[in-house]
Amino acid sequence: MFKPKIESSFFAENRRKLASLLKPDSIAVVNSNDIMPTNADGTMRYVPNSDMFYLTGIHQEETVLLLAPSEKDEEHKEILFIRDYNPDLEVWEGKKLSPDDAGKISGIKTVLELSKFQKVLHDSLSKSENVYLNSNEHDRAELVVESREMRFIRYCMREYPLHTYCRLAPLIYSLRVIKTPVEAELLQSACDLTADGFRRLLGFVKPKVTEFEIEAELAHEFIRKGSGFADYEPIIASGENSCFLHYVKNDAVCLDGDILLLDFAAGYSNYNADMTRTIPVNGRFSKRQKQIYNSVLRAMKGTIKEMKPGNSVKDLQLVTRELIAKELVDLKLVKPADVKDIKNKSDYFKKYYPHDVSHFLGLAVHDVGYFEEPMKAGMVLTCEPGIYIREEKLGVRIENDILITKKGNRDLMENVPIEAEEIEELMNK
């Protein structure tokens, strides 16, 4: 999703901030993602590297950014390398970025073809002591496939073993975790698109629709606006499927009386929303469904109150666990003793509330950031408590996206219907 335009000054400012964090006598290199293969000669749709996008706005494979802030010559402080012009490739894939295009998008004055990279790198390395290289350091990343970044790290360390190597990721993450007003607006747009999708579904869902028909409605809503789904598979989970946290088969028929858990969102210019709503397939919550729904909603509202500067995500997790524990006791699903150890969830607790409440959001759906650190203004996080009762085929999760502000927070999804009665009303209009 690259259609909405972000001014090049945004990317230039990100590079300036990053350069200011490097030690003297340093260069930094960032690589784009590979196009991932599937079977035979098939490939996946291209997913840009979030760090590359954040620093350049470039959405094209085989791109390399070289930052050399200690260079005296202004033209050599930032160099962007893009794919060499290839007329044969153009016949198949259409136009790739020209150096001029890439310069306009990124605000970088020196854009060269990738075939020049090794020579320029060699020249830069001959003048610098430290080399900052980038890698995916997300704590939950499972790195089973070697990335272009990793190949480059191996190459660089093999060819230039006497330099001092440093980690670039923590520096970029420290910037990415705080969203600028421009980014907050992009996230708001992603949330607004998501809201449009949800409102459309409220007039569409009824008994006997299949989960994939619901997914198709959303795809139509997002794609016709030049966007698409956020960077995760939509979860359209009716009945018992609502209890499977990452259910993505989306192929069951929604039945009269079933609950329907919808965890889907739109992306906007590579920024992701992440929303969950839980609705009754037939347009009216049963008494039991509404009871559980309101328990989760209370836990959500109680948690959002604590989303403010100073508290960490870890603190928040404990807040939600306390709230959910109280609800589970009131619902007589557990005894007080079963849920008294909030830090270490008992099996009982985990059975009904197996996940935790929040993650950072941005260019990645589970964005970069550290759960132990106090929240700060500009961070965007989800709030997503849930209660899942497998024996009743009843899972409820509700999820909104929250911008931390100096005084507390702003709910980027405050206009998305959330009260049970409002949802019922809209479904029966």
Q: Which residues contact 116 (CB under 8 A, 6 or more apart)?
A: 81
Site string for Mn ion, 248-287 (x = CB under 5 A): ---------------x----------x-x-----------
Q: Which residues contact 104 (CB under 8 A, 6 or more apart)?
A: 8
Question: Does 401 help bind Mn ion (rule: CB under 5 A)?
Answer: no
Tell me how many residues contact Mn ion (CB under 5 A). 5
State the Cα–Cα distance between residues 409 and 106, nearest whole angstrom.
Answer: 31
Question: Does 232 help bind ligand GLY (rule: CB under 6 A)?
Answer: yes
Q: What's the min distance (Å) between Cβ of 247 and ligand GLY? A: 11
Residue written as token pair 């607790």: 349
Could you tell me if 112 and 100 are in contact, meaning their C-beta atoms sit under 8 angstroms apart?
no
Residue number, 212 or 232, with CB nearest to ligand GLY: 232
Interface with ligand GLY in residues 273-302 (CB under 6 A): 274
| Binds ligand GLY by CB under 6 A, chosen from 384, 394, 404, 418 | 384
The tokens of 119 are what? 């020579």
Q: What's the min distance (Å) between Cβ of 234 and ligand GLY? A: 8
Q: Residue 231 binds which entry of ligand GLY, Mn ion, none, with Cβ cut-offs from 5 to 8 Å by kind?
A: none
Residue number, 31 or 272, with CB nearest to ligand GLY: 272
Which amino acid would we find at residue 404?
Answer: I
Tell me how many residues contact ligand GLY (CB under 6 A). 7
Q: What's the min distance (Å) between Cβ of 233 and ligand GLY? A: 9
Site string for ligand GLY, 63-92 (x = CB under 6 A): ------------------------------
Q: Residue 232 binds which entry of ligand GLY, Mn ion, none, with Cβ cut-offs from 5 to 8 Å by kind?
A: ligand GLY
Q: What's the min distance (Å) between Cβ of 11 and ligand GLY? A: 27
Q: What's the min distance (Å) between Cβ of 274 and ligand GLY? A: 5
Query: The sheet that has 228-229: what strands, in order across it?
Result: 228-229, 266-268, 271-272
Q: What's the min distance (Å) between Cβ of 399 and Mn ion? A: 5
Q: Residue 367 binds which entry of Mn ion, ligand GLY, none, with Cβ cut-offs from 5 to 8 Å by kind?
A: none
Q: Which residues contact 378 (CB under 8 A, 6 or more apart)?
A: 178, 179, 180, 184, 403, 404
Question: Does 244 help bind ligand GLY (rule: CB under 6 A)?
Answer: no
Q: What's the min distance (Å) between Cβ of 83 and ligand GLY? A: 33
| Binds Mn ion by CB under 5 A, chosen from 56, 189, 272, 382 | 382
Residue number, 34 or 367, with CB nearest to Mn ion: 367
Beta bridge partners of 275: 264
Residue number, 71 or 274, with CB nearest to ligand GLY: 274
Pairing type for strands 266-268 and 271-272 reads: antiparallel
Piece of the chain touching Mn ion by CB under 5 A; list 172-180, 192-200, 314-322, 378-386: 378-386
Could you tell me if 27 and 124 are in contact, meaning their C-beta atoms sit under 8 angstroms apart?
yes
Interface with ligand GLY in residues 245-264 (CB under 6 A): 263
Q: What are the residues binding Mn ion (CB under 5 A)? A: 263, 274, 276, 382, 399
Q: Can you give the binding site for ligand GLY, defined by CB under 6 A?
A: 232, 263, 274, 359, 365, 384, 399
